[in-house]
Chains A and B, each alone.
Chain A
Amino acid sequence: MSARTFKSGETVDFVVVGSGAAGGVVARELSHAGFTVLVLEQGPRLAPSDFEHDELKYSFLHGITNDPAANPQTFRRDASRAAVQFVGANPLVYARIVGGSSNHFTANFWRFHEIDFNERSVLGSISGTGFADWPITYAELEPYYTKVEWEVGVSGLAGASPFDPPRTKPYPMPPLPVKSSGALLERGARTLGLHPFPAPMAIVSRPFRGRPACVNCGFCMGFGCEVRAKSTALYTMIPEAEATGRCEVRPESYVFHVETDNRGRATGVRYFDRDKHEHFQKARAVVLSANGAETPRLLLNSTSARFPQGLANSSGLVGKHLMFNQGAGVHAVFEHELNEYKSVQVTRIVHDFYDSDPRRGFYGGGGIDGRIGPQPIGWALVTGSDMPRWGSDLKARLEAFPRSMVCAGHSTSLPLESNSVSLDPSLKDAWGIPAIRVTYADHPDDLAMARFLQDRSVEIMNAAGARKVWKADVTERTGGVHLLGTCRMGNDPASSVIDKYHRTHDVRNLFLCDGSSFVTSGRGQPTMTIQALAFRAADHIARFARRNEI
């Protein structure tokens, strides 16, 4: 069946704002359940042939990401300082095309562990933070993790990690071929008594549901996949939603306001088309899956007489508790060639340091992987305290590129109410809509955990036989691509924005589902959990709709 095209003025069952990791799943599941769904996406729709191996364009010229010229943002370290614009860059980066950031993600697809959902109960409170349990458990989410692996397509080896949480099914396909970085990570980690294992990746290792296996081109992180092997929403959920005949994906449709009536119910959304003409789309219910930056921004911009501080914001927490995931890497040089620029980023990971350990003296946990790191330009631009920056020493470091790898730690960010997405009081985007202002400072424990994993990474690389190891800088974050926590989930309307079913506490027919729903940050690879949450949310939303409870 072909994709649906809704007529102007036609009311749809659901309008979904955003077509990325979460929006794609929600659209697919709701249209499969028999509802009409219109997906409105800010950016254009690209074909596989549109993606290129162009590091300058994708990493520096915003080839598929939000453009600071048209979609500017400001940043400040704390509320006492004036927010500033960065030159040629935004703090919060996401892919602004159909499929959203699932196009340019690295495809690390770790499940959260059981501890991620009840860590506050286990460890106790952390002063000055919003550290809290989730209102759901791992067991409740497990069936949906399995659904992601089988419906979206994840390669991996079940049971390989002794730290893995329980699962009900194996992966649908084996891990991707090991790379030299994986073999070396495994060698070093096993020497130290650790437990490296094959990385679960949302890249297909075998032909899967009409998509070809990965051809190892190496341009995953930050790039779109040119052969459809990466399991992006563009190649998986979106076409399957359209195939129901009940879903339309409308690109270059920029939603800037959620409308409500005098009963406080959402009636639809206002958006600009590609020519900046304004439209109103009526819907029986609205789902925002615009990402952890744009979802709170849209709510804060959707003021009305009834909701003067923004929609669904009676708690005052919309946009608060912004988290990115901290982390830091080391660059290691070996005797022989690794040629890491070939194939996927990661093939082996270590989860021995996943849980927080009070003996370390700070909160935090994380994982370590062996990887390419950036491709040539990003590799050359990385700086570290003793890393050569220019001259013959820099050139020697670049000449060692084929013999080098990155060992990277990925770790927690604590939820702080002072870290936020808010509206800049003066800056507007190219459509005249108030821009995002980011306020962010790392908690000291986040930086301590990043340094801890970096030290473990040095040990692993040395145990693997590295000839030289450089530490990259551990820096305070000024932004990120993991956009988490800004409309947190919870049972108490006073301390959360959505309930455990992703329904906003304040507006009965308004649901939020994306990275903004997170209560805590996890350990660095959020998209798997974003998609599991989306499958679960859609399941419950469909049930509510059938029971006329929306």
Chain B
Amino acid sequence: MSQPSESRRSFLLSTGGILTSAWLAANASGIAAAAQHAEHAATAPTSTGFEFLSASDGADVEAISAQILPSGATPGAREARAVYFIDRALATFFADRAAAFRSGLAEFQLAFRTVHPSAASFAAASAAEQVAYLGSIDGTAFFESVRMLTILGTLSLSQYGGNYQGSGWKLMGFEDQHIFEPPFGYYDRDYAGFVPYSTKSKS
């Protein structure tokens, strides 16, 4: 096996606190491979501007996303910067969905202004107005599109523009690691072992 790189050594040291030395020794080659993957995923750029959306459209999309996954004790879509993912996705790998999204957004904005003529925009409306209005369009193709993109933007790797500093994974309590040692959870910690059946137990 090749010598571990400095970062791989650091990785192994950093996980040593949660993994037992016996388990580490028994699984050394697999751990080394997993460590390389952790290095791959270590860096991610931060998005700062829109490519596909205008500033006002971006504000409305962010406001919708923030009601789909609201802020609170744990991060929501706004903290995950899901709107930057949505913008980048529609400009690049989901470009085939961009035209439908743009027209859906325009229809959404027009219909919202019809219902709330005094509101400057959906983003400027009160939270109660936003929630009530989204409830009225739940199930439409546009709402489904924003819902899916919001979830993707909150939980995809940060390199795609959202999930800022792993905030989406914090929301879900997901640990971004490549190696885990049993026990994994509360219910397998004290598992007593599989008890065989007698042959006559089959009904």
Q: Which residues of A approach B to under 8 Å, CB–CB?
A: 48-49, 51-56, 60-61, 87-88, 157, 159-160, 162-163, 175, 177-180, 182-184, 186-187, 193, 195, 197-198, 207, 212-218, 226-229, 334, 336-343, 375-377, 379-381, 389-392, 394-395, 398-399, 401-402
User: Would you give 29 A-B contacts (Cβ < 8 Å), ordered by A?
Assistant: A48-B33, A52-B40, A52-B41, A53-B41, A61-B93, A157-B194, A160-B194, A160-B196, A162-B199, A162-B201, A178-B188, A178-B191, A179-B185, A180-B184, A182-B188, A215-B180, A226-B178, A227-B30, A228-B33, A337-B173, A376-B172, A379-B172, A381-B151, A389-B147, A391-B70, A394-B69, A395-B69, A395-B76, A402-B172
Are B180 and A60 in touch, CB under 8 angstroms? Answer: no
Q: B93, B134, B174: which has the most chain A beta carbons within 10 Å?
A: B174
Residues of B within 8 A of A341 (CB): 174-175
* Cβ contact within 8 Å between A342 and B180: yes
Q: List residues of chain B with CB within 8 A of the CB of A377.
A: 151-152, 155-156
From residue 1 to 48 of chain B, which have CB atoms closer than 8 A to chain A?
Answer: 26-31, 33-34, 36-37, 40-41
Q: Is the CB of B184 within 8 A of A216?
A: yes
B49 to A: closest C-beta gap in Å: 21
CA distance A159 to B175 in the complex (A): 36
A53 and B187 within 8 A (CB): no
The answer to whether B155 touches A177 (Cβ under 8 A) is no
Instruction: Contact check, B180 vs A218: say whether CB atoms are below 8 A apart.
Output: yes
**Contact A399:B188 (CB < 8 A) given known A87-B97, A193-B203, A376-B174:** no
* Interface contact B184-A217, CB-CB below 8 Å: no
Give which listed residue, B97, B173, B180, B197, contacts A402 with CB less than 8 A. B173
CB of B96 within 8 A of CB of A87, answer: yes
With A179-B188, A212-B33, A390-B67: A198-B157 Cβ-Cβ less than 8 Å: no
Verify A215–B31 contact, CB threshold 8 A: yes
Shortest distance between the CB of A63 and any CB in chain B (Å): 11
Q: In the bound complex, how far is the Cα of B134 from the Cα of A29, in angstroms?
A: 59
* 10 tightest Cβ-Cβ pairs between the two chains A and B: A212-B30, A336-B186, A180-B185, A180-B187, A162-B202, A56-B156, A227-B30, A402-B173, A342-B180, A338-B185
Contacts of A337 in B (CB 8 A): 173, 185-186
Residues 152-195 of chain B, each 1 if its beta carbon lies under 8 Å from chain A, else 0: 10111100100000001101111111111111111110010010
Could you tell me the distance between the alpha carbons of A128 and B76 in the complex, rounded to whole angstroms? 51
Closest B-chain residue to A190, C-beta based? B195
Cα of A337 to Cα of B180 in the assembled complex, Å: 15
Contact A55 B156, CB 8 Å, known A61-B93, A178-B191, A216-B179: yes
State A213–B33 Cα separation when bound (angstroms): 12
Q: Is the CB of A401 within 8 A of B187?
A: no
Complex contacts, B171 vs chain A, CB 8 Å = 395, 398-399
Minimal beta-carbon separation of A330 from chain B (angstroms) = 17
Contact in complex: A390, B134 (CB < 8 Å): yes
Q: For the complex formed, measure the closest distance between the CB of B203 and the CB atoms of chain A, giving whole angstroms.
A: 7
Partner of A180 from the list B37, B94, B188 (CB cut-off 8 Å) is B188
Task: Report the minimum CB–CB distance from B17 to chain A (whole Å).
Answer: 17
CB nearest to B33 among chain A residues? A227
Q: How far is the CB of B147 from the nearest CB of chain A, in Å? A: 6
What residues on A are CB-neighbors of B69 within 8 Å? 390, 394-395, 398
A157 to B157, CA, bound (A): 37
Inter-chain contact A217/B185, CB cutoff 8 Å: no
Q: Which residues of B contact A186 (CB under 8 A)?
A: 194
Say yes or no for B103: interface residue by CB 8 A criterion: no
Bound: A265/B43 CA distance, A: 56
Known: A178-B188, A195-B202, A336-B186. A227 touches B34 (CB 8 A): yes
Establish whether residues A226 and B34, one from each chain, have CB atoms under 8 Å apart when the complex forms. yes
Q: Is B131 an interface residue (CB 8 A)?
A: yes
The chain B residue with its CB closest to the CB of A347 is B188
Q: Which of B31, B185, B197 is the most central at the interface, judged by chain A CB atoms within 10 Å of its CB?
A: B185
**B72 in the interface (beta carbon within 8 A):** yes
A177 touches B182 (CB 8 A): yes
A56 and B28 CA atoms in complex are apart in Å by 29
- Given the complex, which residues of B lie within 8 Å of A395, measured CB to CB? 69-70, 72, 74, 76, 171
Cβ-defined contact, B180 with A56, below 8 A: no
Which residues in A have their C-beta under 8 angstroms from that of B188?
177-180, 182-183
Interface centre among A182, A183, A340 (most CB of B within 10 A): A183
Contacts A342-B180, A377-B151 aside, 9 further interface pairs with beta carbons under 8 A come to A49-B36, A53-B176, A56-B156, A160-B194, A182-B188, A195-B201, A215-B34, A338-B187, A339-B175
Which A residues are in CB contact (< 8 Å) with B152? 56, 60, 377
Q: Per a CB cutoff under 8 Å, which of B34, B96, B97, B156 touches A217?
A: B34
Q: Is the Cβ of B67 less than 8 Å from the Cβ of A391?
A: yes
Complex Cα distance, B70 from A227, in Å, reads 37
| Pick from A163, A180, A215, A218: contact of B202, CB under 8 Å | A163
- Chain B residues with CB below 8 A from A342, complex form: 175, 180, 184-185
Which residue of chain A is the closest to B144 with respect to CB atoms? A389
Q: How far is the CA of A294 from the CA of B40 in the complex (A)?
A: 34
Question: Residue of B at shortest CB range from A335?
Answer: B186
B59 on the A face (CB < 8 A): no
CA distance A162 to B195 in the complex (A): 12
B68 at the interface (CB under 8 A from A): yes
Within the complex, the shortest CB–CB distance from B53 to chain A, in Å, comes to: 19
CA–CA, A56 to B134, complex, Å?
26
Q: Output the least CB separation between A336 and chain B (Å).
A: 4
**When A157-B194, A217-B178 are in contact, do A336 and B36 touch as well, CB less than 8 Å?**
no
- Determine if A226 and B33 form an interchain contact, defined as CB atoms under 8 angstroms apart: yes
Cβ of A83 to closest chain B Cβ, rounded Å: 19
Residues of the B chain whose Cβ atoms lie less than 8 Å from the Cβ of A55: 155-157
- When C-beta atoms are compared, the residue in chain A nearest to B74 turns out to be A399
| Cβ–Cβ < 8 Å partners of A401 in chain B | 172-174
Which residues of chain A are within 8 angstroms of B154 by Cβ–Cβ distance? 380
Give chain B nearest CB distance to A193 CB in angstroms: 7
CB distance from A520 to the nearest CB of B (A): 23
User: CA–CA, A342 to B179, complex, Å?
Assistant: 8
Partner of B185, one of A53, A87, A339: A339
**Candidates A48, A195, A381, A390; contact of B197 at CB < 8 Å:** A195
- Residues of chain B with a CB closer than 8 A to A198's CB: 194
Q: Which residue of B lies closest to A380 (CB)?
A: B151
Instruction: Contact check, A56 vs B33: say whether CB atoms are below 8 A apart.
Output: no
Contacts of A216 in B (CB 8 A): 179-182, 184
Q: Given A53-B41, A391-B68, A399-B173, check contact A338 B97 (CB 8 Å).
A: no
